[in-house]
A = this chain, B = another copy of it.
Amino acid sequence: MDNKKTENFSEWYLELVQKAELMDYAPVQGTMAIRPRAYFVWEQIQRFLDCRFKEAGVQNAYFPMFVPESLLKKEAEHFAGFVPEVAWVTHGGNEQLGERLALRPTSETIMYTMYSKWVSSHRDLPLKLNQWCNIIRWDTKTLKPFLRTREFLWQEGHTAHATKQEADGQVKQALDWYRQVCEELLAIPVLQGKKTDAEKFPGADYTTTIEAIMPDGKALQCGTSHQLGQNFAKIFNIRYKTESGGEEYAWQTSWGVSTRLIGAVAMLHGDDRGLVLPPKIAPLQVVIIPIYKTEEDKALTTLASQRHAVALQAAGLSVLVDDSDRTPGWKFNEWELKGVPVRIEIGVKDLAKTGATIARRDTGFKEFYIDDAVLEKVKSLMDEIQENLLQKARLFAQEHTHAVENLEELREALEIRKGFAKAAWCGDPRCEEAVKEETGATIRLVPFDSKEGGKCVYCGKRGKETIYLAKSY
């Protein structure tokens, strides 16, 4: 790594994701290949969420990526929110199309057109579908691998319910799945809450969100879950006959997380030596490196390495013995760059003491263990490292969340101390807008336990809501 995380954060991130082979740039600006090491992380996210979705009765399906312009236009607020970023297909083969087609920037309109065909009775509800797919947003903001690209992968859950209450419950449940995947799998602590009306999803009644603090103090929106009310149902005519014979519009929700989370992992846990992966999402969890000078020592250390590898693999760990013809130093650097959680070194001295040296990627700490203790130590390190990364990130988040009472303190929090600013807000959108213009920070969320009190950070009037403000990706 040429760049340092604390010195050139942005360059450090760009160097990291490419050198650690998480991604590489593709010919079209703003697009990239997600390489196997990163895609593996995505597969773990998929597995984690997919089984929770299924347990809750959410079924997977697939809808077309082509959305006719007229369809996208049906919900005016929704269309206005997405149209600046839409990529348009105008030709099929040599023929110009009669109507240009949007590549889905999100799938509400195409899915709900079909929901209206499938929902007619209370028996058809709840309808809970999810799709894993690619999304196109022709973004003009600063592009950044994983965090903002013109194509990305995500899942989008879309549900229809008989009552508002049931839909509210679904919104909450999805957000909780997202909190779980961030904290339990990716070791990313998050804040939860509601977006303000200015920041909510175009077409939603309200939007809930989870947000994480990145090392440069900026907020990263990690997942959102929307209560769509009956807004789309009324436009797309999703109605059902009630048990008593009446007719009602369905209540709907939508929610999603994307491959952006891979970028969050790299950015949050990485260091000046490269990637640091939580053990639960590391494609390779343990690398064993035999260290030798003579051919005889090579045979002995390699044999010992392989013996350990077999035992660790039998315990369900993903292990590689790196017996390639590189120097130990080269191998140390290489596997640190790639973020392998645990390295085992087996040299002649280790053999003499019938043991091995175990090094942690997260702390760099290394220590000798006798052979009999290696398996248990490595197994417990998987949990310890996972937990340590989460706690470290939690501590960082706490240290970078500053209570502020006025604009001056807010500026100081954002510019000097960095991170989230916790403040009171009078609830007036004009104050929200003014703060954004003057500081570049937005209200990231209103926490679920928001309280009245204090003074509005902008106008000084009585506070109606607690808010968290930050600059963001």
Contact = CB atoms under 8 A, between A and B. Distances in A.
Interface stretch (A30-38, A183-191, A391-399, A413-421): A30-38
A43 B60 CA distance: 9
B26 A63 contact: yes
B89 A93 contact: no
A136 B101 CA distance: 13
Contacts of A62: 33-34, 39, 42, 153
A118 interface: yes
A85 B89 contact: no
Interface string A378-413: 000000000000000000000000000000000000
Contact of A32 (B59, B64, B113, B129): B64
Contacts of A64: 26, 28, 31-33, 151
Interface residues of A, number: 57
Contacts of A316: none
A39 B26 contact: no
A71 interface: yes
B151 A65 contact: yes
A117 B39 contact: no
Interface in A16-58: 24, 26-28, 31-36, 39-40, 42-43
A122 to B, nearest CB: 12
A300 interface: no
A60 B36 contact: yes
A86 interface: yes
A34 to B, nearest CB: 4
Contact of A151 (B24, B61, B66, B83): B66
Contacts of A242: none
Nearest to A85: B93
A82 to B, nearest CB: 10
A114 B21 CA distance: 12
A92 interface: yes
A110 B27 contact: yes
A84 B129 CA distance: 34
Contacts of A60: 36, 39-40, 43
A351 interface: no
Contact of A33 (B36, B61, B87, B103): B61
Contact of A138 (B34, B59, B92, B103): B92
Contacts of A101: 28
A125 interface: no
Nearest to A34: B62
Given A60-B36, A62-B39, A26 B114 contact: yes
25 contacts: A24-B114, A26-B64, A26-B113, A26-B114, A27-B71, A33-B61, A33-B63, A35-B61, A39-B61, A40-B59, A40-B60, A64-B151, A65-B134, A65-B136, A66-B150, A84-B93, A84-B94, A85-B93, A87-B91, A87-B92, A88-B89, A89-B103, A91-B100, A123-B324, A134-B134
Please name the 9 residue pairs, one residue from A and one from B, whose CB atoms are nearest each other, closest first. A92-B138, A36-B59, A31-B64, A34-B62, A88-B91, A28-B66, A26-B64, A90-B90, A33-B63
